[in-house]
């Protein structure tokens, strides 16, 4: 043990063999393993004794090995509690919760999904771009709260239409010259929620908006030094970014949500 962790990123397994497979024209290598780690002895639900109850096989998306997309299959025992009927199976170190991919592959997909199309990422894994997209979104939503974003001192807000039917408020960080957030203009309170969720709103000195913002007094009180100015003249300097976002949103396969995530975390 320990060696498979180094080589394959998973532990407590014995390597059985590898073979080339192909799926929809994509060639990948399937590495087969069996679990050889310890097994839980008592039921986590009632404390009763666990007995072996057949085996199960899982398939995982893994990191490419020698530039070839890789999948793992792992056979492991199932255990059953005779007292309450609960089924148990051991957790395999290195396998992501939810068991669709290894932890390493999950993190790599999440990182690369920020800067590459899902089609490009999918080329390196035994998975379709749709599967990659789902893995990316799940990961992002689980970790959304970890993205701490400090309010910029200068904010510019404009309302634009994306694609066919999404109307959004684009929030620019005029202090650093980048798109900061996009809020659905079709969702009530999205602007209020933005100012409530941003870190250190008291930093904000100026909000230059080309549209009238629905801001209540409670929100304004969060940023005592902020001045709200009706002004869209700054948009001229951001016209390339705005155009890029509008064009990208027209491309096939980008829902507003996916597009928003991709755009925000590009920088």
- The verdict on 87 binding Zn ion (CB under 5 A) reads no
The minimum distance between CB 43 and Zn ion, in angstroms, equals 3
Helix, strand, coil in percent for the chain, rounding step 5: 30, 35, 35
Residues numbered 184 to 243 that lie near Zn ion (CB under 5 A) are none
Interface with Zn ion (CB under 5 A), residue total: 8
DSSP character for 25? Answer: T
Structure tokens at 217: 């007094």
Phi, psi of 105 (to 5 degrees): -65, -40
The whole-angstrom separation of Cα 140 and Cα 152 is 23
Of the pair 46, 187, the CB lying nearest Zn ion is at: 46
Of the pair 47, 253, the CB lying nearest Zn ion is at: 47
Q: Using an 8 Å Cβ cutoff, are 93 and 11 in contact?
A: yes
The minimum distance between CB 8 and Zn ion, in angstroms, equals 33
| CB count in 10 Å sphere of residue 145 | 8
Of the pair 45, 243, the CB lying nearest Zn ion is at: 45
Binding mask 48-67 for Zn ion (x = CB under 5 A): x-------------------
Q: How far is CA 206 from the centre of its chain?
A: 32
- The verdict on 45 binding Zn ion (CB under 5 A) reads yes
Q: Using an 8 Å Cβ cutoff, are 92 and 37 in contact?
A: yes
Of the pair 78, 112, the CB lying nearest Zn ion is at: 78
Collapse the DSSP code of 78 into the 3-class scheme (helix H, G, I; strand E, B; otherwise coil) and give the result.
Answer: strand
Binding mask 64-83 for Zn ion (x = CB under 5 A): -----------------x-x
The whole-angstrom separation of Cα 260 and Cα 181 is 8
Residues numbered 15 to 44 that lie near Zn ion (CB under 5 A) are 43
The minimum distance between CB 80 and Zn ion, in angstroms, equals 9
Of the pair 52, 266, the CB lying nearest Zn ion is at: 52
| List of residues contacting Zn ion (CB under 5 A) | 43, 45-46, 48, 81, 83-84, 86
């Amino acid at each position: 043990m320990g060696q498979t962790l180094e080589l394959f990123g998973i532990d407590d397994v014995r390597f059985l063999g590898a073979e080339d497979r192909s799926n929809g024209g994509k060639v990948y290598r399937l590495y087969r393993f069996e679990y050889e780690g310890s097994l839980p002895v008592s039921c986590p639900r009632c404390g009763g004794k666990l007995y072996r109850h057949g085996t199960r096989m899982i398939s995982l998306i893994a990191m490419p090995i020698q530039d070839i997309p890789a999948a793992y299959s792992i056979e492991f025992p199932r255990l059953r509690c005779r007292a309450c009927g609960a089924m148990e199976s051991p957790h395999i170190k290195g396998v992501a919760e939810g068991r669709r991919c290894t932890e390493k592959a999950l993190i790599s997909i999440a990182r690369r999904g920020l800067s590459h199309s899902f089609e490009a990422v999918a080329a390196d894994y035994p998975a379709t771009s749709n599967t990659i997209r789902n893995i990316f979104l799940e990961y992002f939503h689980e970790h959304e709260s970890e993205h701490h974003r400090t309010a910029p001192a200068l904010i510019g807000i404009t309302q634009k239409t994306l694609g066919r039917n999404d109307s959004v408020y684009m929030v620019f960080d005029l202090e650093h010259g980048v798109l900061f957030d996009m809020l659905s203009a079709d969702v009530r309170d999205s602007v209020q929620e933005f100012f409530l969720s941003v870190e250190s709103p008291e930093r904000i000195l100026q909000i230059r908006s080309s549209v009238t913002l629905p801001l209540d007094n409670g929100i304004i009180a969060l940023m005592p030094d902020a001045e709200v100015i009706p002004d869209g003249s700054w948009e001229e300097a951001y016209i390339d970014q705005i155009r890029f976002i509008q064009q990208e949103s027209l491309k096939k396969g980008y829902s507003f949500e996916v597009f928003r995530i991709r755009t925000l975390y590009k920088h």
